[in-house]
C-alpha cells in the first residue's frame, strides 16, 4: 500500500513538472510539434515495460474501439493543452485540469445513475471556489466568472478537462481489454503517428526544429514516460480514483514552478486557491 502511494505521489510530481517544463518549450515550439514530441519521445521509456511484462491477451474489438476513440478526441485535447500553456500562466491553466472529476459526474449520472454524496458536493464547491479565487484580482466580484471564459488559457484548459473526462471512461475499457502498459505504448505510438502526419502538413521545419530542441524533447519524453510508468504501476496497488486524485495534486508543483521560474504574480493566493481545488478533487474521488 505504501508503495502505491509513493508511486502515485511520483506521478503527481511528474505531472506538475511536465506542465511547467512544457510551458518553457511552448514559447519556442508550436503546439502541434510539441504534442508530437511528448508522445514520440516517451515511447523509448514505456517500451521496456511492455517487453518485460510481455504482450497480454487482448480483446481486440473493444480495445481498438476504445483506443481509437480516445486518440481521436485527445488529438484535440493535447494540442489545446499546449496552446493553453503557451498563452497563459501556469496558475491560470494547470489547476483547471482539476475540473475533470466534475465533468465526469454527469457522464456517470447518465450511464451509471451515480450521483456524488455530500463530500462530493463539497468537493465541487471547493474546486469552483479555488477557480474563482485564482481569477479574483479586484473588488469586482463578477470578474472571475468572466475570466473563466475570457481568459484564453483557462478556456482551453476547461475544454481539455471536458475531453479528458470522456477519454478517461473509454481508456478504462482499453486497459481492461489489454493491460495498462500495452495500452500506454499503443496509445503513444498511435498519437505519435497521427501527429507526425499533422506536423508534416502544418510545419515545414520539423527536422530543423527537432534538431534545435532535441535536448528539450528528450527531457520532456523522459518526464512523460516516467509519469506513465509511475501511474500505471501505482494502479497495481491503489484504486484508479486515488491515483488520479494524487496525480492532479501535482498542479501545486506546476504553480510553484510558475512562481519560481516564470515570476508569476500573486503567489500566495494562487497556491492557496490551487490547494482548495486539489482538496476538492480528493473529496470527490474518495
pTM: 0.88
d(CA 62, CA 178): 10
Per-residue pLDDT at 112: 54
Other Cβ atoms less than 10 A from the Cβ of 54: the count is: 9
Per-residue pLDDT at 72: 93
Domain layout of the chain by residue ranges: 2-285
Per-residue pLDDT of the chain (286 residues; tens, 9 = 90+): 788 889 989 999 999 999 999 999 999 888 999 999 999 999 999 999 899 989 999 999 999 999 999 999 999 999 999 999 999 999 999 999 888 878 777 766 765 566 677 888 888 889 888 888 888 876 566 666 666 677 899 999 999 998 988 887 788 788 888 988 899 999 999 999 999 999 888 876 666 666 778 899 999 999 999 998 888 788 778 777 778 788 888 999 999 999 999 999 899 999 999 999 999 888 877 6
> What are the cell numbers at 83?
496552446
Nearest to 165 by CA among 110, 238, 209, 217: 110
Amino acid at each position: 500500500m505504501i508503495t502505491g502511494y509513493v508511486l502515485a505521489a511520483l506521478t503527481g510530481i511528474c505531472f506538475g513538472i511536465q506542465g511547467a517544463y512544457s510551458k518553457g518549450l511552448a514559447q519556442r515550439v508550436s503546439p502541434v510539434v510539441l504534442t508530437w514530441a511528448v508522445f514520440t519521445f516517451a515511447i523509448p521509456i514505456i517500451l521496456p515495460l511492455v517487453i518485460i511484462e510481455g504482450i497480454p491477451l487482448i480483446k481486440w474489438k473493444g480495445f481498438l474501439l476504445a483506443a481509437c476513440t480516445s486518440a481521436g478526441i485527445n488529438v484535440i485535447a493535447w494540442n489545446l493543452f499546449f496552446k493553453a500553456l503557451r498563452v497563459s500562466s501556469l496558475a491560470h491553466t494547470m489547476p483547471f485540469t482539476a475540473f475533470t472529476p466534475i465533468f465526469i459526474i454527469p457522464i456517470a449520472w447518465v450511464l451509471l445513475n451515480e450521483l456524488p454524496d455530500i463530500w462530493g458536493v463539497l468537493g465541487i464547491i471547493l474546486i469552483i471556489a479555488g477557480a474563482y479565487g485564482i481569477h479574483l484580482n479586484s473588488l469586482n466580484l463578477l470578474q472571475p466568472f468572466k475570466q473563466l471564459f475570457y481568459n484564453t488559457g483557462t478556456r482551453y484548459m476547461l475544454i481539455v478537462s471536458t475531453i479528458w473526462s470522456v477519454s478517461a471512461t473509454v481508456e478504462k475499457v482499453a486497459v481492461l481489454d489489454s493491460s495498462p502498459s500495452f495500452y500506454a505504448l499503443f496509445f503513444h505510438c498511435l498519437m505519435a503517428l497521427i501527429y507526425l502526419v499533422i506536423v508534416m502538413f502544418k510545419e515545414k521545419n520539423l527536422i530543423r526544429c527537432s534538431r534545435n530542441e532535441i535536448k528539450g524533447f528528450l527531457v520532456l519524453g523522459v518526464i512523460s514516460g516516467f509519469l506513465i510508468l509511475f501511474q500505471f504501476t501505482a494502479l497495481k496497488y491503489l484504486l484508479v480514483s486515488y491515483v488520479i486524485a494524487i496525480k492532479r495534486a501535482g498542479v501545486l508543483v506546476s504553480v510553484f514552478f510558475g512562481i519560481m521560474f516564470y515570476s508569476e504574480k500573486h503567489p500566495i493566493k494562487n497556491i492557496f486557491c490551487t490547494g482548495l481545488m486539489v482538496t476538492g478533487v480528493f473529496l470527490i474521488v474518495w
